[in-house]
Amino acid sequence: MTAEIVNVPPPRAEADPSALSITPAPPVRRQWRAVLLRSVLVPLIVLAPLVTLTPSADHRFNVYANGGLYGAKPWLLVRNAFSTVPTFLDLGNFRPLGRITEWSLDVAVFALTALFGLPANIGLRLVSFVSAILLTIATVVFAAAVVSRRDRLFATPPPVPVALLPFAVGAGLVAAGWTSTTVLFGALYLATSALVLAVAAWACRSRRPGVLVVLAGAGIAAFNELAVLAVPLATAAVLVRNRVVLGRSPFRGPNARFLVLLWAGFLPVFLPVRAIIYLRCADGGCYAGSDLAPAGAPAALPGRMVSWLPPLMWEQAAHGFPRVAAAVPVLALIALALVAWRTVPGLRRLPALDRGQTYGLALAAVALLILASSIAALNADVQRFDIGLGWRDSGLTTAAGSILLLVLWRRYLVVALVGLVLAGTLSAAANKDFRDRAARGPWPYLHDRIAQEVADFDVTPAGDARRCALRATFVQTSAHNNHQGVGPNEQELRRFDVSLNRATILLAGVRFCSTAPR
């Protein structure tokens, strides 16, 4: 008698109810892409109200002058930047690489006019928005580099404070006065701030430092005053990470060698240049933006260390509490809320910082805040600023303050996110209020009309008549603003003619106004 053998399938394992209730975490790359997307969207939403802000100060002329001069001959950028070094040393600064960057950004703005007919006032803001995005990304990378213990920087999910940084940095992008980096030279100084953070992140993660690090040190010394902070910040970040985060000797490993090479490239350029500037400017008369006034720095430092706080900047931008009952703030709130809504589901699955990482990141942020505030407090002009007014340090102090805020806030993450969304909305409202106030009067209208005439260049006699009328209005406005009270400001009028003629000759082959003196 035979029996049929039946293959019975093994019993099905009981599913773990707790496992069924947990949504699997998305891949690490997707989580970092989400942080990158937020780093792009949040700054754009907050800064969008400034897109039509009129150009001010040197921007009224530089975009046309540099775009017209270097747009067709970009190789002159390098030649002129280094050939004018003696002249600028006499004025108190040394920025050949910084000038190449600044002029290149002006050429990029002018290219938007030449290629797409975009007025220079709008192109100027769009380029500065890109720099704000770079600053936000650099802040995220800097924070991640300080706390990461893995060989690969993005091998693990972003910690909660790092994932929320785009919201915090975006809330700090406020037009806090005409000297703020969101208004004046934003493309240059926000990009410089991103460079400072990127060098510090590089120092934390470098494995085989070599000659490139020495060249980077020399390049930093030849960039601008704000970029100089990259070297001490990199030093502080590496020492803190080695000792506090990694628990090893701060002076061992490839990161310590990186610092030696960075300083070796930096000091041989920085020290002789500062000695020359001191000798030439000891009696005064040099460019105030680069002048150092150590005596007044201690009194100014506390104010600069808190001027990054959004409520203080809202006051300076809006001359009061921002007006939120308007279409732009409502749209900003909706846009930020949508970005935050996509953030919430994955927030609780992200890792928290342990004690070493928390202390290390907090110390690195404090070092950044002190360095950035100090370089502002040393400036004689800034020492007279009200608390909350922005300056070249604003990008770095905002990054430092944002890191500190999120490191200290360890619980109620959704509440923190809601608070950052509301702060970003108020920052957008403050930017809108600043733009509305800036648009009043004949001066903003004049320069916006000039930008439009250059973009939509009309070669007919009617177009020439309109442009000559704008020049006549500029002469009247310049005379009204002349400190002597009589006659036009001849220096400004010459800059007007030279810069606009360069631009329109390159674009259309004719001068801006045919009746103006040659």
pLDDT-derived band of residue 518, with 50, 70 and 90 as boundaries? confident
- Average pLDDT over every residue of 88-94: 83
Give the count of beta carbons closer than 10 Å to the beta carbon of residue 22.
9
Residue 3 predicted with pLDDT over 70: no
Residue 20 predicted with pLDDT over 50: no
Mean pLDDT of all residues belonging to the chain: 88
Q: Which residues share a beta bridge with 292?
A: 379
How far apart CA 96 and CA 219 sit, in angstroms, is: 9
- Average pLDDT over every residue of 363-384: 94
Residue 21 predicted with pLDDT over 70: no
pLDDT-derived band of residue 9, with 50, 70 and 90 as boundaries? very low
Residue 258 predicted with pLDDT over 70: yes
Residue 439 has what pLDDT? Answer: 85
- Average pLDDT over every residue of 435-464: 88
- Average pLDDT over every residue of 467-471: 92
Segment holding 416, helix H or strand E: helix 413-438
Handedness of CA 182, 186, 187, 193 (dihedral sign): negative
Q: In the chain, how long is the greatest CA-to-CA distance?
A: 126
User: 91: Cβ–Cβ under 8 A, 6 or more apart, which residues?
Assistant: 286, 287, 290
Residue 481 has what pLDDT? Answer: 59
Helix/strand/coil (H/E/C) assignment for every residue in 49-94: HHCCCCCCCCHHHHHHHHHHHHCCCCCHHHHHHHHCHHHHHHHCCC
How far apart CA 499 and CA 61 sit, in angstroms, is: 6
Residue whose token pair is 């104010």:
303
Contact of 218 with 269, CB cutoff 8 Å: yes
- Average pLDDT over every residue of 8-20: 40
Phi-psi region of 185 (alpha: psi -120 to 50; beta: other; left: phi over 0): left
Segment holding 409, helix H or strand E: none
Percent of the chain with pLDDT over 70: 92
Residue 4 has what pLDDT? Answer: 43
Residue 389 predicted with pLDDT over 50: yes
Closest to 32 in 3D by CA, of 159, 197, 119 = 159
Least confident of 31-45, 312-326, 427-441, 487-501: 487-501
Residue 480 has what pLDDT? Answer: 61
Q: Which residues share a beta bridge with 379?
A: 292
- Lookup: tokens for 147: 């706390």
pLDDT-derived band of residue 137, with 50, 70 and 90 as boundaries? very high
Least confident of 22-31, 339-348, 361-370: 22-31
Q: Which residue has the higher pLDDT, 19 or 235?
A: 235
- Average pLDDT over every residue of 342-364: 91
Residue 339 predicted with pLDDT over 90: yes
pLDDT digit string, tens, across residues 261-286: 999 999 999 999 988 888 877 676 67
Residue 66 has what pLDDT? Answer: 93
Residue 444 has what pLDDT? Answer: 82
Contact of 278 with 83, CB cutoff 8 Å: no
Residue 14 has what pLDDT? Answer: 40
Contact of 173 with 165, CB cutoff 8 Å: no
How far apart CA 371 and CA 308 sit, in angstroms, is: 14
pLDDT digit string, tens, across residues 183-225: 999 899 999 999 999 999 999 998 888 899 999 999 999 999 9
Residue 488 has what pLDDT? Answer: 59
pLDDT-derived band of residue 323, with 50, 70 and 90 as boundaries? very high
Residue 16 predicted with pLDDT over 50: no
How far apart CA 470 and CA 446 sit, in angstroms, is: 7
- Burial annotation 411-433 (CB, 10 A radius, 16+ → b, else e): eebeebbebbbebbbbbbbbbbb
- Average pLDDT over every residue of 476-497: 69
- Average pLDDT over every residue of 96-123: 93
Q: Which residue has the higher pLDDT, 364 or 186?
A: 364
Least confident of 38-42, 284-288, 396-400, 423-427: 284-288
- Average pLDDT over every residue of 366-393: 93
Residue 493 has what pLDDT? Answer: 85
Which amino acid type is present at position 315?
A: E
pLDDT-derived band of residue 12, with 50, 70 and 90 as boundaries? very low
User: 464: Cβ–Cβ under 8 A, 6 or more apart, which residues?
Assistant: 458, 510, 513, 514
Length of the chain: 518
Least confident of 6-10, 78-82, 186-190: 6-10
pLDDT-derived band of residue 1, with 50, 70 and 90 as boundaries? very low
Contact of 428 with 342, CB cutoff 8 Å: no
Residue 8 has what pLDDT? Answer: 44
Residue 27 has what pLDDT? Answer: 85
Residue 160 has what pLDDT? Answer: 93
pLDDT-derived band of residue 130, with 50, 70 and 90 as boundaries? very high
How far apart CA 361 and CA 154 sit, in angstroms, is: 17
Residue 240 C-beta-side C-alpha neighbours within 13 Å: 26
